[in-house]
Amino acid sequence: MHAPGEGLDDPQDRKAETKIYRHSQVETTRDVLDCGGKVRHYEEVHQVPHQHRRQGVGEVLHTLILDTNRGLKVAQNRDGKPVMVSPANIARVLEPSTSVQYVKGIGPRLAEVLSAKGIHTVDDLVHYLPFRYEDRLNPRGIAELRPGEMATVIAEVRNSGLFRTRRMPIFQMVAGQGRTKLKCLWFNGAYLRDKFKPGQMVALYGKVEQDRGGELQLHQPQFEILGDANEEGPGDTAEKKLESSLEVGRIVPIYESAGQGRLTARWFRRVIRTALEALPPQLQDPVPATVREHLSLIPPREALWRVHWPEAGESFADLQNAHTPAHLRLIFEELFFVELGLELKRREQKARTGVAFQLNEGVRQAIKKILPFHPTEAQKRVLKEIASDMEKASPMRRLLQGDVGSGKTIVAFEAAIIAIENGYQVALMAPTEILAQQHYFSARRILEPAGYRVVLLTGSLEDDRKRDIRRHLAQGNAQLVIGTHALLEQKVEFARLGLVIVDEQHRFGVMQRFKLMKKDRVETGQSPASTQAHVEPDVLVMTATPIPRTLALTLYGDLDVSVINELPPGRTPIVTRRISDDRSGEVWKFLCKQVEAGHRAYVVYPVIEENEETELKAALKMYKELSNKVFPHLKVGLLHGRLEPDLKDLVMRMFQKGELHILVATTVIEVGVDVANATVMVIEHAERFGLAQLHQLRGRIGRGPAKSYCVLMTGGKVSEDGERRLDAMVRTSDGFQIAELDLELRGPGEFFGTRQAGVPSFQVANLVRDRQLLEAARREAAVVLAGPNAEISQEEIDRALHHMRARWQKTYGLVEVG
């Protein structure tokens, strides 16, 4: 165990610290090699005399860092002559791209620990920002301490010792200021045994506790020994130490520890400070000047310094809220390069060749003919947006957002007709077989009477059937294919694929989206009947999960967005109630009444089978109980993910046809299932579900004219977040509001309940907190790519793009840009 509050030196790493030989000892590189050293690392460094370091005086040298155990290091000047410099005079200037292992105090072993945190380079390290700050600027007098507060105390060590209790050894140190004394305790503190000597000055930081007798103490304080009070000129030494101290007498940055606590905040303070000092005095600013001006950005190096080591006078509140000029600079920069990448991608997509579909009167009539109802204003608007994309020669990349039940399907069919009437084929993909089938049935109902040929291609089809369908697609007989991932995974060739529609996009994940787009490109090209090898199909992705704007700007930033913000007419708002499950009797009675009135109901459980640890009610068991005991006179069905696909289909179909009154299920019914006369959704253990999930589930009801009810039953303890989720569900049915809260509660990585591949993991930005900066970054990215012009030179644009590519490659590796 390593001492908390103490820095950690890796013995191996300490050895790795390079010693510098005096000039006279080495004449040429050969000499050094002859000493027996092995070349470990070769790099260009800047030599900066220590005293000038801050002013930025430097000379470029070439350095060989030799086998570390031999402790050799030699610098060469530009002519290749070795130049030896005394340690005091050389400051190794690290390039941002240098591996962290060359930072003093790190080394190969600790570098590995850091890499688990995503810290690989010096640049990563200096962007490892404090997650909070401690105000240790004004140390406190012991007499003024109050229980419960966090305080910094600078005092003199009086005595210390280890005593053992039955539970653990406790280390006690008494520090004093004049006559007042303060007891400090460290539990399991054996490691501190020889740490303190009477008379030393120490800085202590921790929470003030009160023991049973009312005496004030510090428990587990962080500390730093500042100097020995008995030394010659005691005040002087202590003061100097204090001045240079990174621990007290200032606003101190607190970092998240790493390596299971081995690399402490204190350790990070030291190495980050070292790395900052070793950065080149002038970091080139990759952000173009005009953008810097628009946002009053401070220079990058200054921002890095000030974010780690705030100047006296910096607002403490701004620091805590990541709102200082330094924070804004770093956050904006990160967001800017993400948005620049996305903007570039949008532009490049626009520059590619797609199909310019005709939207003539014939096509309009064809669309009118299939409409089973009057579209809402919102549906009309988004169709216009989609149609106008489709008319353009560049391939459409559009995201259609619309809350559950808002009527996206018909819009998708309308878009399909535009493509088909132009002689192209359309692929519609759904995330599950059930949904694919549902789309297939409605497509046949709506499109086949008008003479369109629709096929279904899913994984569970017989091989012969699949082969048949693939042949129809390759020959162009089938105009609309509806399927699941099977469309992605199998070798499907199209005669003339013009439009790809992806429903409930978030289920596919982002990477699949990219795969899909790529596939079309390839397949279209390979298709024997195709004469347009380089033409890309239009892509329309649809999602019922409202995506908060911040995510839309990042995760989907390369897409244009359309929103259906209106429900079809005749819907009555869903009544949502929260109730504890000890009142389930009332709920079941209500459910009976609804069924007697001709309606249908869902009862949803968080798990299929119970298990001892969670004690959650489970679908299997409750199905038995509900069907045998509670509703013996009703038809109850069971649906969960482990059923055979055939059985799943059968159950779904029976429920859809009204042959089952109640469907007991897990979240498999979450997405897209459409049973218009289902009016009750009972969710047991509602406290266990995520917000997005609850919202999706509730979207299964209220799809017809009858009033619908969502009952959120809680069983057991509800966490604080759980309370907020349930509250939100009762309060609003606005999907966007719910999505924003979900994002806030779970963070972008976990949004939608599953980890989203492709959500950029930001170093310093926070999508919830920094939304305004994100909007600004998007605007500025567009400004930059609109250049060159009077405001911005080609050179600046190139530099920004170069920087963006390097970053993008590193952070999002798989995603291609440009």
Q: Residue 674 binds what, of ligand ADP, Mg ion, none (CB under 5 to 8 Å, by partner type)?
A: ligand ADP
Residue 410 binds which entry of Mg ion, ligand ADP, none, CB below 5-8 Å type-dependent: ligand ADP
Question: What residues from 763 to 782 belong to the interface with Mg ion (CB under 5 A)?
Answer: none
Least separation, in Å, of the C-beta of 510 and Mg ion? 20
In angstroms, the CA 613 to CA 299 distance is 54
Q: How far is the CB of 759 from ligand ADP (least distance, A)?
A: 24
Q: For Mg ion, which residue has the nearest CB?
A: 672
Beta carbon of residue 340, minimum distance to Mg ion (angstroms, whole number) = 34
φ and ψ of 336, to 5 deg: -60, -45
Tell me the closest approach of the beta carbon of residue 395 to Mg ion, in angstroms.
Answer: 23
425 binds, among Mg ion, ligand ADP, none (CB under 5 to 8 A by kind): none
Q: Helices 433-447 and 408-421: crossing angle, nearest 10°? A: 60
712 φ, ψ (degrees, to nearest 5): -95, 105
Residue 594's binding partner out of Mg ion, ligand ADP, none, with CB under 5 to 8 Å set by partner kind:
none
3-state secondary structure of 380: helix
List the single partner that 285 binds among Mg ion, ligand ADP, none, CB under 5 to 8 Å by kind: none
Residue 379 interacting partner from ligand ADP, Mg ion, none (CB closer than 5 to 8 Å by kind): ligand ADP
Label residues 189-222 b or e (16+ Cβ within 10 Å = b): bebbeebbeeebbbbbbbebeeeeeeebbbebbb
CA 401 to chain centre: 21
Parallel, antiparallel or unpaired: strands 560-564 and 538-543: unpaired
Q: Out of Mg ion, ligand ADP, none, which partner does residue 341 contact, by CB within 5 to 8 A per kind?
A: none
Region near Mg ion per CB under 5 A, out of 121-129, 242-250, 284-292, 668-676: 668-676
The CB-of-654 to ligand ADP minimum distance in angstroms stands at 19
Q: Which is nearer to ligand ADP, 366 or 544 (CB)?
A: 544
Residue 20, classed as helix, strand or coil, is coil
User: Closer CB to ligand ADP, residue 80 or residue 372?
Assistant: 372
Give the nearest distance from C-beta 591 to ligand ADP in angstroms: 23
Three-state SS at 584: helix
Beta-strand pair 575-580/709-714? parallel
3-class secondary-structure state, position 695 = helix
Could you tell me which stretch among 103-111, 328-336, 393-401, 664-672 binds Mg ion (CB under 5 A)?
664-672
Nearer to ligand ADP, 145 or 673 (CB): 673
CA–CA distance, 492 with 455 (Å, rounded to integer): 13
Number of residues that bind Mg ion (CB under 5 A): 1
Q: Which is nearer to Mg ion, 483 or 672 (CB)?
A: 672
Residue from the set 672, 690, 699, 702 that interacts with Mg ion by CB under 5 A:
672
Q: What does 42 interact with, of Mg ion, ligand ADP, none (CB < 5 to 8 A by kind)? A: none
In terms of CB distance, is 114 or 694 closer to Mg ion? 694
Judged by beta carbon, residue 672 or residue 722, the one nearer Mg ion is 672
Q: What is the b/e burial string over 702-737, where b = at least 16 CB atoms within 10 angstroms of the residue's CB?
A: bbbebebbbbbbbbeebeeebeebbebbeeebebbe
> Quick one: what does residue 402 bind among Mg ion, ligand ADP, none, with the CB cut-off 5 to 8 Å set by partner type?
ligand ADP
The answer to whether 229 and 156 are in contact (CB under 8 A) is yes
Q: How far is the CB of 430 from ligand ADP (least distance, A)?
A: 10
The residue type of 592 is: C
Residue 362 burial class via C-beta count within 10 angstroms: exposed 0-12, middle 13-18, buried 19 and up: exposed
Residue 242's closest CA among 231, 227, 252?
A: 227
CB closer to Mg ion, 58 vs 672: 672
Rounded to an integer, what distance in angstroms lies between the CA atom of residue 474 and that of residue 527?
Answer: 7
Q: Coil, strand, or helix at residue 447?
A: helix
Comparing CB distances to Mg ion, the nearer of 58 and 407 is 407
Is there a contact between 407 and 382 (Cβ–Cβ < 8 Å)? no
Nearer to ligand ADP, 375 or 537 (CB): 375
**DSSP helix/strand/coil, 135:** strand
**Closest separation in Å from C-beta 250 to ligand ADP:** 56
CB of 633 to ligand ADP, least distance (A): 29
Binding site for ligand ADP (CB under 6 A): 373-376, 379, 402, 404-410, 544, 568, 674, 676, 703
- Candidates 138-146, 472-480, 667-675, 747-755; binding stretch for Mg ion (CB under 5 A): 667-675
Contact residues toward Mg ion (CB under 5 A) are 672
